[in-house]
Structure 1
Amino acid sequence: MEHFIVSARKYRPAVFKDVVGQQAITNTLENAIENNHLAQALLFTGPRGVGKTTCARILAKKINEDGTEKVDEDFAFNIFELDAASNNSVDDIRNLIDQVRIPPQVGKYKVYIIDEVHMLSANAFNAFLKTLEEPPKHAIFILATTEKHKIIPTILSRCQIFDFRRIGVRDIKEHLAEVAKAENIEAEDDALHIIAQKADGALRDALSIFDRVVSFAGKNLTREAVTENLNVLDYTWYFQITDLLLENNIPQVLVSYNTILSKGFDGHHFIMGLASHFRDLMVCKNQETISLLEVGEQVKTMYFEQSQKTTQQFLIEGIDIANTCDLKYKNSQNQRLLVELTLMQLASLTFQGEKKKPNSRVGEIGTSKGATHFVIPPSHFKSEEFTSEKITSAGSAASNSIRKAEPETAINATNNQIKNEVNEPSEVDAPENNQPNQPSSTPSTTSGESEKVIERPQILAERNAKKVSALSLKSIQKKQEIQQEIVANQPDAENLPVNDFSEEEMQAVWTEYTAHVESDGKYNLLSHLTMGVPKLDGSIIHLEFPNQTIKTEVERAKYELLGFLRDKLQNYEIDLDITVNETVEKKYAYTTREKFEKLKEMNPAIEKLRKEFDLDV
């Protein structure tokens, strides 16, 4: 059996021009050698498998060439490689320093390549400092590491640093194509592209993957063979899923996702790949960004064709939904359900539901099993005429009855009255001058009584109260606030009591309300309401607080407080005037020094006590 040499060793570059993806660094090193401008201490840093050790060996060989050497001369006696991962003690560095003093027997320079130099101990670094700063003329040190941040700054300052970058997918793919050609292997462009993507910028990893796939597929590398061997989800699945999403075919989407899971793929990997697929489709929609698409030519055509079927809004919302699923995936208790819900959301983005059906004609009367119904167009509900004039006559009777009722009853009565008027066809669509059968409860303009019109802001608040969803705590709280606003903004009328009361009576009711607040466990609000004494001026109750935060907290409970005061004192003209008094705010001590000064004002003996015991504040 013939000895097999892995491609990473067999095709290791022997000259700088063969190094892949690091042209800026190789050009710099070549120019430094030609111009005799090479530093004696170099630091090569960067990710794994990008050519750090390879460039160090090429440099060590090139600086010893004088034109008289053999073609296969490798100057092995002049190149010393030290693995700092296993030789990281002070004694190892001392042995190295002793060897540095001896000049080379062949060639001009002795090159010391210290790999994984960040593994050296702190004492070894310190022992190496002096030699690294002032080495002999015949010695050159090349340090290589993947973690530059672990090297102490005194070492970094003595080295010329070269940062190696990750190798691009295109460069890796082209190099793999050359290797495949040299090995007489037929390889599809898409197959090599998948290998290059899997390598994640490391050429050594790409060559190792290439060897593994060749062992699996033989002399013919196909996309299917590569995806099967590397356990990579074929991108054709993403094209298929996207087509189903655009067709709103939720059942088939879920079946396809189940098939993907049955093949052993992770749901998290799938949803991240779907987000990347949407991103690539977005890139294809503009000629300026199409260069950002790193795929093969055949796949690029598929991306371009599918991008024409999608809209920009669908892709943006799809990326956002998929990214949200990605963030929630690790913390989810039912990860499969989370991905399935995400897919259903994506499939619903372009679904228009009933909007696809033809709209019913305005004013059309239809029958269903003997029942007659009247179709009212949505525009009737948005009409200014309906909200301002039609409500006038119908709402006056409702408003008179509402004012006599309790607050909650008033809200329900108003909502029911407006709802009845909206659902009444004769009141909505019939002209005003053609209403021979007026309800007897509607007040007439000839009766001598002036009509009382519900104010437009109140009508809008009542309609908003009905529109607020009750599917969350926030929505329920919002609806309660709107209802409280409706009660507090009830229009003035003669039927509402306006009884006189004294400041003592107001203080007693105020104390009663604070007792209710305390029994409800709202201790924060209780401390605010008992902070000062409310002052009465007519029917206005003035409150002063030391800062804006407290004012905001009290304003949140304003409508509940007003309802309690008005009901107990039988005066619906009562209102609150809440202000912030900066002078009051300054009376409060916030820092330790301010608290001490406050105590000293109350008891000057505290200062004497502090001086007696030599205390600090």
Structure 2
Amino acid sequence: MNQFVVSARKYRPTQFKEVVGQEHITQTLKNAIRQQKLAHSFLFCGPRGVGKTTTARILAKAINCQDPGSEVEPCGKCESCVSFQNQNSMNILEMDGASNNSVENIRNLIEQVRIPPAHGDYKLFIIDEVHMLSASAFNAFLKTLEEPPSHAIFILATTEKHKILPTILSRCQIYDFKRIQVREIVSHLQSICQSENIDFEEEALHVIAEKADGALRDALSMFDRIASFAEGRLSYEKVIKQLNILDYDYYFKFVDQLMVGDLGAIYLLFDDVLSRGFDAHVFLLGLQEHFRQLLMIQLDKTEALVDAVGNLKEKYIRQAAQVERDFILTALDLANACDVNYRMAQNKRLHVEIALMKIAYFKNVKAMRTDLNEISEEPAKKKVNPVAGNESQNISVESRENDVPEVPTVKSEPDQKATENISVEGAEKRSIQKGIEKRAPTPVKKQSAGKHVLPKLNNLSNIKADIEKENNKGEAVKDNEVLKAEINASWKEFRESHSSPSLRSFMEDSLLELVGDQLIVRVSSQLAKSSILEQRELFENIRSVSGPRNIQIKFEIEESESQDESNESPLITPQDKFNALREKNPKLDMFVKTLNLKIDSD
């Protein structure tokens, strides 16, 4: 049986041009050799698996190469190169700093430094993991490192530069190796797959490169393990199974559910993640990265920063078009706060669940605050006082005679599966207000100078009916075909004039059907329904073009097969909204009592 050689050794670079992702260092070293400006000591530092030792060996070979050529690359054919490749070179010596870290080892090294090279111009000493030398060994090495013989060159390599004495650092030319980028690792893995005749999916190699965290040696080790498991075919499913990585689709599902605010579905999905053996902190980091990818796509000129390829990048682009910018920023902030405090949390699962709850409710809380701010704005001089008597309760208003306070309407959020009537509150409120001003009689009694008493408003529905009759008097009733065309035109005009790409997409995908006096709006998701419902101006336009016909609007959700059906209960009840409003404006309770108003129970 042939001896297997791992890819990290089999495909180890032998020339500067083969080193992956460190062009800023290899080009500098080649120029130094070409211009004969070599330092007597080099320090290569950086994270693991990025090519420090490999570059040190290539540099040592290139310095002593008898035929480097115009590109200053070791030829691999001369006596010096061949002897080093066969591990019997007398001019290039390697030493492991971890196992030779005493003063005695350094003394032996110094003795070898004094001996000139047997052939060639230089004698090179490569000391790997040099930070493992003891303080005494470093001090013993100082003088030789500062003033070595003209034929001696030292190449030191370390992953922990901060552990090396400053006196050593000041005597070396320092080269900082960087982490290798994902696309460079993917390109290198593709060339290896082609050499080994292995079929692959680009997404599978991308996952390996991301998991390697910038270390090419780690990527090659994972590649060998997965190649043995995959039996000649590297697929995305096999890679995530072997590396125990959470599928990207989970994060796309999480974002969809978070935007809708279905907390039950979110917690069930999170439980599924934990039941598959994934750590909650790993999931949290993946969710942060997912939101970052969406943000990079939304921002101008940053799409190139998204580490995704093929179908995965298309999924990011589609979802980024549906998510609002402030939602992404808030989610990132909440997820980061959860990450910061994760280690201190006693119940780590609950800690993550609370963060998910905050993200899920963000959009609803934002909408509620907007409604409350609109309702609670009162003129500075308006006062509301109750007057004795059950049937003759009046409102004393310090304003113009026909100035009537607006009546707040508290609505609950619509159920996800049911199809219900949507009342266009803005248009109705203005029509009712107009009717109140027209019908308001003169004050019955003056209580004081500058104050007028208005009658009690008991039955708003009767006022509304009278106003509709008066407004529709003499106006022709449109037939279904004409009305449907005008509604479609109004829908299209509003869609094209809106600035939100996601709303335009939702409205373009919606289907309108006029059945009698009912306008049925068919949408693809609960998210689309919620987004359209927020557009009051749209429904005011539809009511305006419908004329005397009282058009009722219904929504029907036609979910795709890939989406799980789930029931969404109202997140905030009318009583909750009213309580929040009453805390902000205590006078509202007296106002509701005076007008005999009732809070909706559904």
* Same structural fold, with TM-score higher than 0.5 when normalized by the shorter chain: yes
Give deviations 1:500-528, integer Å, cap 9, x for gaps. xxxxxxxxxxxxxxxxxxxxxxxxxxxxx
- 1:332 deviation in Å? 2.1
- 1:297 deviation in Å? 2.8
Match of 1:386 in 2: 382
Letter in 2 for 1:277: H
1:143 aligns with 2:156: yes
Q: SS of the residue aligned with 2:175?
A: strand
Q: SS of the residue aligned with 2:285?
A: helix
Whichever of the two has the greater Rg, that structure is 1
- 1:445 deviation in Å? 6.2
C-alpha separation between the residues in 1 aligned to 2:378 and 2:441? 19
- 1:30 deviation in Å? 0.8
C-alpha separation between the residues in 2 aligned to 1:444 and 1:284? 64
Q: SS of the residue aligned with 1:348?
A: helix
Runs of 4+ that moved beyond 6 A: 352-355
- Taking structure 2 as the reference length, the TM-score comes to 0.62
Match of 1:458 in 2: none
- 1:354 deviation in Å? 9.6
**Cα distance change, pair 444–243 in 1 and its aligned pair in 2 (3 A):** closer
Match of 2:48 in 1: 48
C-alpha separation between the residues in 2 aligned to 1:225 and 1:143? 40
- 1:246 deviation in Å? 2.1
- 1:425 deviation in Å? 5.8
- 1:347 deviation in Å? 2.2
C-alpha separation between the residues in 2 aligned to 1:61 and 1:323? 48
Give deviations 1:188-223, integer Å, cap 9, x for gaps. 111111111111111111111111111221211111
Match of 2:186 in 1: 173
Letter in 2 for 1:467: E
Q: SS of the residue aligned with 1:60?
A: helix
Q: SS of the residue aligned with 1:63?
A: helix
Match of 1:6 in 2: 6
- The number of aligned residues is 401
Match of 1:191 in 2: 204
- 1:298 deviation in Å? 2.3
**Cα distance change, pair 266–148 in 1 and its aligned pair in 2 (3 A):** same
**Contiguous gaps of at least 5 residues in structure 2:** 68-76, 398-403, 405-435, 451-579, 587-602
Match of 1:527 in 2: none
Given that residues 227 and 234 in structure 2 are in contact (C-alpha distance below 8 angstroms), is that contact kept between their aligned partners in structure 1? Answer: yes
**Cα distance change, pair 129–338 in 1 and its aligned pair in 2 (3 A):** closer
C-alpha separation between the residues in 1 aligned to 2:16 and 2:380? 79
Give deviations 1:349-378, integer Å, cap 9, x for gaps. 3337997xxx9xxxxxxxxxxxxxxxxx97
1:467 aligns with 2:583: yes
Q: SS of the residue aligned with 1:82?
A: strand
Given that residues 380 and 386 in structure 1 are in contact (C-alpha distance below 8 angstroms), is that contact kept between their aligned partners in structure 2? Answer: no
Aligned counterparts, 1:541-580, within 5 A: none
Given that residues 199 and 232 in structure 2 are in contact (C-alpha distance below 8 angstroms), is that contact kept between their aligned partners in structure 1? Answer: yes
1:261 aligns with 2:274: yes
Letter in 2 for 1:298: N
Letter in 2 for 1:326: D
User: Larger relative contact order (C-alpha < 8 A, sep ≥ 6)?
Assistant: 2
C-alpha separation between the residues in 2 aligned to 1:10 and 1:380? 73
Aligned counterparts, 1:259-338, within 5 A: 259-338=272-351
Percent of pairs with identical residues: 50
Letter in 1 for 2:361: S
C-alpha separation between the residues in 1 aligned to 2:98 and 2:287? 40
Letter in 1 for 2:378: K
C-alpha separation between the residues in 1 aligned to 2:261 and 2:319? 16
Q: Alignment partner for residue 243 of structure 1, among 239, 244, 256? A: 256
Letter in 2 for 1:261: L
Q: SS of the residue aligned with 1:345?
A: helix
Given that residues 65 and 81 in structure 2 are in contact (C-alpha distance below 8 angstroms), is that contact kept between their aligned partners in structure 1? Answer: no
C-alpha separation between the residues in 2 aligned to 1:164 and 1:297? 30
**Cα distance change, pair 70–165 in 1 and its aligned pair in 2 (3 A):** same
Letter in 1 for 2:21: G
Q: SS of the residue aligned with 1:43?
A: strand
Letter in 1 for 2:129: E
Match of 2:109 in 1: 96
Q: SS of the residue aligned with 1:305?
A: helix
Letter in 2 for 1:94: R
C-alpha separation between the residues in 2 aligned to 1:213 and 1:182? 16
Structure 1 range deviating more: 97-106 or 22-31 = 97-106
Given that residues 45 and 145 in structure 1 are in contact (C-alpha distance below 8 angstroms), is that contact kept between their aligned partners in structure 2? Answer: yes
Q: SS of the residue aligned with 1:92?
A: helix
- 1:38 deviation in Å? 0.7
Given that residues 41 and 140 in structure 1 are in contact (C-alpha distance below 8 angstroms), is that contact kept between their aligned partners in structure 2? Answer: yes
**Cα distance change, pair 38–259 in 1 and its aligned pair in 2 (3 A):** same
Match of 2:529 in 1: none
**Cα distance change, pair 41–468 in 1 and its aligned pair in 2 (3 A):** same
Given that residues 65 and 80 in structure 2 are in contact (C-alpha distance below 8 angstroms), is that contact kept between their aligned partners in structure 1? Answer: no
1:77 aligns with 2:193: no
Given that residues 204 and 235 in structure 2 are in contact (C-alpha distance below 8 angstroms), is that contact kept between their aligned partners in structure 1? Answer: yes
Give deviations 1:161-191, integer Å, cap 9, x for gaps. 1111111111111111111111111111111
Aligned counterparts, 1:222-241, within 5 A: 222-241=235-254
- 1:384 deviation in Å? 4.3
Given that residues 245 and 347 in structure 1 are in contact (C-alpha distance below 8 angstroms), is that contact kept between their aligned partners in structure 2? Answer: yes
Aligned counterparts, 1:216-615, within 5 A: 216-351=229-364, 382-384=378-380, 386-387=382-383, 426-427=395-396, 429=404, 433-436=442-445, 467=583
**Cα distance change, pair 147–426 in 1 and its aligned pair in 2 (3 A):** same
Letter in 1 for 2:329: I
Given that residues 46 and 164 in structure 1 are in contact (C-alpha distance below 8 angstroms), is that contact kept between their aligned partners in structure 2? Answer: yes
C-alpha separation between the residues in 1 aligned to 2:310 and 2:376? 56
**Cα distance change, pair 342–65 in 1 and its aligned pair in 2 (3 A):** same
Letter in 2 for 1:25: I
**Cα distance change, pair 45–181 in 1 and its aligned pair in 2 (3 A):** same
Match of 1:182 in 2: 195
Give deviations 1:523-578, integer Å, cap 9, x for gaps. xxxxxxxxxxxxxxxxxxxxxxxxxxxxxxxxxxxxxxxxxxxxxxxxxxxxxxxx
**Cα distance change, pair 57–466 in 1 and its aligned pair in 2 (3 A):** same
C-alpha separation between the residues in 1 aligned to 2:444 and 2:273? 67
**Cα distance change, pair 465–249 in 1 and its aligned pair in 2 (3 A):** closer
C-alpha separation between the residues in 2 aligned to 1:380 and 1:98? 88
C-alpha separation between the residues in 1 aligned to 2:268 and 2:581? 42
Match of 1:519 in 2: none
**Cα distance change, pair 254–27 in 1 and its aligned pair in 2 (3 A):** same
Letter in 2 for 1:104: P
Match of 1:530 in 2: none
C-alpha separation between the residues in 2 aligned to 1:322 and 1:192? 28
Give deviations 1:149-169, integer Å, cap 9, x for gaps. 211122112111111111111
Match of 2:592 in 1: none
Given that residues 61 and 74 in structure 1 are in contact (C-alpha distance below 8 angstroms), is that contact kept between their aligned partners in structure 2? Answer: no
Match of 2:141 in 1: 128
**Cα distance change, pair 255–40 in 1 and its aligned pair in 2 (3 A):** same
Match of 2:407 in 1: none
Letter in 1 for 2:151: H
1:118 aligns with 2:131: yes
C-alpha separation between the residues in 2 aligned to 1:122 and 1:179? 43
The two structures, once aligned, show a CA RMSD in angstroms of 3.2
1:34 aligns with 2:30: no
**Cα distance change, pair 281–80 in 1 and its aligned pair in 2 (3 A):** same
- 1:261 deviation in Å? 0.6
Q: SS of the residue aligned with 2:362?
A: coil
Given that residues 267 and 336 in structure 1 are in contact (C-alpha distance below 8 angstroms), is that contact kept between their aligned partners in structure 2? Answer: yes
Match of 2:223 in 1: 210
Given that residues 81 and 115 in structure 1 are in contact (C-alpha distance below 8 angstroms), is that contact kept between their aligned partners in structure 2? Answer: yes
**Cα distance change, pair 425–189 in 1 and its aligned pair in 2 (3 A):** farther
Q: SS of the residue aligned with 2:126?
A: strand
Given that residues 101 and 137 in structure 2 are in contact (C-alpha distance below 8 angstroms), is that contact kept between their aligned partners in structure 1? Answer: yes
Given that residues 376 and 581 in structure 2 are in contact (C-alpha distance below 8 angstroms), is that contact kept between their aligned partners in structure 1? Answer: no
Given that residues 376 and 585 in structure 2 are in contact (C-alpha distance below 8 angstroms), is that contact kept between their aligned partners in structure 1? Answer: no
**Contiguous gaps of at least 5 residues in structure 1:** 360-376, 395-416, 447-463, 471-617
